Amino acid sequence: MRRIMIPILTLMIGGPLAAADTPDEASAPTMAERISVHAPWARLMPPGQPNTAAFMLLENASEEDIVLVAARSPASEVVELHTHIQDEGMMRMREVARIDVPAGGQTELRPGGLHVMLIGLVEPLAPAVAVAITLVFADGSTLELHAPTRHPRDMSGRGQHPRQPPD
């Protein structure tokens, strides 16, 4: 029984891997190649704050959905994808497993909504620098971007000042 099973398992594992190497698969644009990132920025925090967040507009002009599944950065010990939810009248942050950018659509990461959470800053963010962030997509492709730091002028009175400060 064992002699029969082992060759079959080897075939099952080898099949899909071999198929991924065909020229057709390799030439299809990756999610990282199809995404456009507009106006990324990272929020400057008061001294002593160990965490901050980065925001951007993700645009997908292609005909296939794009799914962001993770982000990395040398600026903090941990990087997570977050959203805000209403919980008994309080705005709370919650980690999400994915951020979808639908075909032909846009997804905005903004204060009070979706964001890239930088937890445990290696050093405080300084004005006029850019934070390196690598976006990781569901197909394994990656895109590195640089998010300039910016003061969160709209954070204290979100209701009165719903608009983002201009770039």
Spatial distance between the Cα atoms of 72 and 79, rounded to a whole number of angstroms: 6
Which helix or strand (DSSP H or E) is residue 33 part of? helix 31-34
- Among 32, 41, 73, 82, indicate the residue that binds Cu ion (CB under 5 A): 82
117 near Cu ion (CB under 5 A): yes
Q: Which of 93, 96, 121, 130 binds Cu ion (CB under 5 A)?
A: 93
Q: Does 118 bind Cu ion (CB under 5 A)?
A: no
Q: How far is the CB of 103 from Cu ion (least distance, A)?
A: 27
Q: Which is nearer to Cu ion, 93 or 138 (CB)?
A: 93
Contact segment (CB under 5 A) with Cu ion among 11-19, 28-36, 75-83, 128-136 equals: 75-83
| Cα dihedral 81, 86, 88, 90 sign | positive
CA atoms within 13 A on the CB side of 47: 0
Stretch of 6-14, 41-49, 86-94, 102-110 contacting Cu ion, by CB under 5 A: 86-94
Interaction of residue 119 with Cu ion, rule CB under 5 A: no
CA distance 148 to 133: 11
Nearest approach, Cβ of 109 to Cu ion (angstroms)?
Answer: 11
The secondary element (H helix, E strand) that includes residue 117 is strand 115-121
d(C-alpha 48, C-alpha 54), whole Å: 18
Using CB under 5 A as the criterion, which residues of the chain lie in contact with Cu ion when the complex forms?
A: 82, 93, 117
